[in-house]
Amino acid sequence: MKITKLLLTTLVLAFLALPFLFTNSCRHDPIGIDQLDTVCFQTQILPMLKTSCGICHGPGKEGGFDPNSYSGIMRIVKSGDAANSKLYEVITNSGGEGMMPPNRPLNKDQRTLILVWIEQGAQNTTCDTTGGGGGPQYNMDTICFTQNIAPIFQSNCGKTGCHDVTSHKEGYVLTNYNTIMQNGEGIIPYYPNSSKLYQITSSSAGEDIMPPAPNPALTAAQRELLRQWIADGALNSNCPWTTCDTTGTLTYTANIAPLIQVNCIGCHNATNASGSVDLSSYTQVKYYSETLRSGTPIILGATKHISGFVPMPPSGILSTCQIRTIELWISQGMVNTK
């Protein structure tokens, strides 16, 4: 979350002054409220409330509060009056019976954004997130679920015998965003060190380590992606604009190996080769790329989910650009490295 220097300075003063500002049913704007950058509902407040409150609240859930829409949130907000807004009351009732979320309070920056948003009029605003201004930006796309996190779970966890829909060991199904988030203690938005799924993938030893032996452990880079995604709020984010460069000569080392590592190696490694398919080396990947079935390279038939091939990954599908990368690499002669 990016907050300007002016905002940070002003908010420190505002928090120090809050006991004096909201007393005797007399409301005053926080110090310098008219000088603060606009806090935007769609890009800052809504994603925060969705991830922090949406586990328990929403259509058909408890409390009658819907954190998934502007109209639902405004039912407990008094525009321009944070002190008398139920939303601000419950998120600041630290340690109290009615505090929300009950066990994982929002941090000061998050509470401050809600305070300032309400005091600015609680408008249904959207800010320019492309660098053209619009105030402090909620940086929701640092790590994207679809491109960065889903492949880690699908390849290493949501597979046959582990945490797919059929196996669901320990009650966990880890095949898509909804199933990953449905167990409240597995992923706790903003709190990676309290999230069980991060704890067990980051453990260096013990029977609870995941993935379990003989499966390879997550790489340091994968664990950091998971940690940062949770710390950013564990959003169901999708970044289709993520760079996928298919220009020039593609090589196994630069283009194919990273793709295989993220999407395939959890199931198809030298130690535990699912279906007797090992994709942990150039030689093996080249074999399945040059071996044809009905005129189609096996690796392409599988990743394109063509009828007659075992679809891979089984719980998802590679992006159009990723599949095109494999296709071009094969047509260029399956160069190893240069």
pLDDT per residue as tens digits for the range 269-305: 888 788 899 999 999 999 999 999 999 999 999 999 9
Average pLDDT for residues 82-107, to the nearest whole number? Answer: 77
| pLDDT band at residue 24 under the 50/70/90 scheme | very low
Cα three-residue angle 21-24-27, rounded to 5 degrees: 45
pLDDT of residue 1: 40
Determine, yes or no, domain membership for 245: no
Instruction: Determine the pLDDT at residue 243.
Output: 59
Assess whether pLDDT exceeds 50 at residue 2.
Answer: no
Summarize the confidence of residues 228-252 as an average pLDDT: 78
d(CA 259, CA 151): 10
Which of 104-113, 202-211, 223-232: highest mean pLDDT? 223-232
In a domain, 133, yes or no: no
| 238 assigned to some structural domain | no
Please check whether residue 137 lies inside any domain of the structure. Answer: no
Q: What is the pTM of this model?
A: 0.51
pLDDT category, 140, cuts 50, 70, 90?
A: very low
The pLDDT assigned to 214 comes to 74
Residue 243 domain flag: no
Band (35; pLDDT cuts 50, 70, 90): low
Q: Out of 68-77, 110-119, 178-187, which region has the weakest mean confidence (pLDDT)? A: 178-187
Residue 194 covered by a domain: yes
**pLDDT-based confidence at residue 62 (cuts at 50, 70, 90):** low
Q: DSSP 3-state helix, strand, coil percentages of the chain (rounded to 5)?
A: 45, 5, 55
| pLDDT score for 167 | 60
Specify whether 210 is located in the same domain as 259.
no
Residues 110, 191, single domain; the answer is no
Confidence check: pLDDT of 96 > 60: no
Structure confidence at residue 319 (pLDDT): 82
Same domain, 221 and 317: no
Average pLDDT (189-199) is: 89
Shared-domain flag, residues 13 and 115 = yes
C-alpha distances in angstroms, 191 versus 4, 107, 176, 184? 24, 10, 20, 12
Same domain, 9 and 84: yes
Residues 9 and 112 in one domain: yes
103-139 per-position pLDDT tens digit:
677 877 888 889 889 989 999 988 765 444 444 443 3
Residues 196 and 264 in one domain: no
**pLDDT for the residue numbered 294:** 93
Report the alpha-carbon distance of residue 240 to residue 321 in Å, rounded.
10
- Do 76 and 178 have their domain in common? no
| Range 175-185 average pLDDT | 81
Q: Residue 282 sits in which domain range?
A: 252-331
217 and 272 inside one domain: no
Same domain, 165 and 215: yes
| pLDDT at site 25 | 30
Per the CB < 8 A criterion, the answer to whether 272 and 215 are in contact is yes
Does residue 101 lie in a domain region?
A: yes
Q: Are residues 213 and 167 in the same domain?
A: yes
Does residue 11 carry a pLDDT above 90?
A: no
Q: Are residues 152 and 54 in the same domain?
A: no
Q: What is the CA radius of gyration of the chain?
A: 24
Distance CA 61, CA 269 (A): 42
The answer to whether position 241 is within a domain reads no
Q: What CA–CA distance (Å, rounded) separates 297 from 107?
A: 51
User: In the listed set 201, 231, 261, which residue is the last one of a domain according to the structure?
Assistant: 231
Please count the structural domains in the chain: 3
